[in-house]
Amino acid sequence: MSSSATPSRSQSARLLVMEGNTAEARARQVQFGGEAASEGYARLLRELFPDAVVDICYPADPGANLPDRGGLEGYDGIAITGSSLNIYHGGPPIQQQIDLLRAAFDTGTPIFGSCWGLQLITVAAGGVVRRNPRGREVGFGRRIRLTQAGAGHRLFDEKPPVFEAMTVHLDEVDTLPEGARLLATNEHSQVQAAEIPCGNAMAWGVQYHPEYPFREMAAIFRRLSPSLVAEGFFLDEEEEQSFIGDLEALERDPANHALVWRHGVDGAVISKDLRTMEIRNWVRHQVIPTRAARGRG
């Protein structure tokens, strides 16, 4: 990582990670060798920005102790994880997240969302999310390409104009909120990244997972088995297990040329610096400048 990507101590930020999953879903991911989405997200943020203070909240949990507007104003950035929930199903675990996010909109705190995070921001800001008629996108999102707006956007500083990314989602953004800008797209989902103005805040969101390492994707495939066979992604469970083995091998050795060639992935997936660039850029170009404007830098 280049030194320019790391804030100095005077620029250190206080960040909040909003966990999108219920306690049951978090436990299930751990059961299959993964971790709670918020734990992985928080660890990555601390790794990329060692001086940052990172807290986690669990708005999908009954009786969760959530920050009010005053508490939210104390954060310099809010990141939202993925989730196994479907936002159009509604219910308290989803509504509590929408309510918390709308309170954050009023504070002007910069927001970043991965996958569910993008969908949550979209709905909270007045847009629409639906089940993707093309089905699930899983493993590697292929040929994600920047729009004209995305090519000049700071979210994608140092990112290739066309790239692959870790992904797993069944739902997609159908209609962006008023004033939003489409920043990236592919053949599977029109909205792969967007900038969304929401109240006093600005949100950046992506439909893929720049925060995921290969080992987490392997755990997701184990958790989703055998449904991925039924959906036609693999001929049988043996083939699926072979793919999971490849993901685990790439975790150990991302420069494995045979596996990189076999799965047709590019440097934007293999290189951790490039894979996580959107999160780095969010902190570098949104969190730190906004913090300085508030007199905290």
Annotation says 211 is catalytic: yes
279: helix, strand or coil: helix
| CA 153 centroid distance within chain | 18
Residues 6+ apart with CB under 8 A from 139: 166, 167, 168, 217, 221, 233, 243
Q: What is the DSSP letter of 240?
A: H
DSSP 110-170: -EEEETHHHHHHHHHTT-EEEE-TT--EEEEEEEEEE-HHHHT-GGGTT--SEEEEEEEES
Q: H or E element: which one contains 193? A: strand 193-198
Catalytic-role residue among 19, 115, 172, 188: 115
Annotation says 198 is catalytic: no
Catalytic-role residue among 164, 211, 216, 240: 211
Q: Do 109 and 72 touch, CB atoms closer than 8 A?
A: yes
Round to whole Å and give the CA distance between 197 and 195: 7
Q: Which two tokens stand for residue 236?
A: 């049988």
Q: Do 221 and 240 touch, CB atoms closer than 8 A?
A: yes
Annotation says 115 is catalytic: yes
Catalytic-role residue among 172, 209, 216, 278: 209
Active-site positions read 115, 209, 211
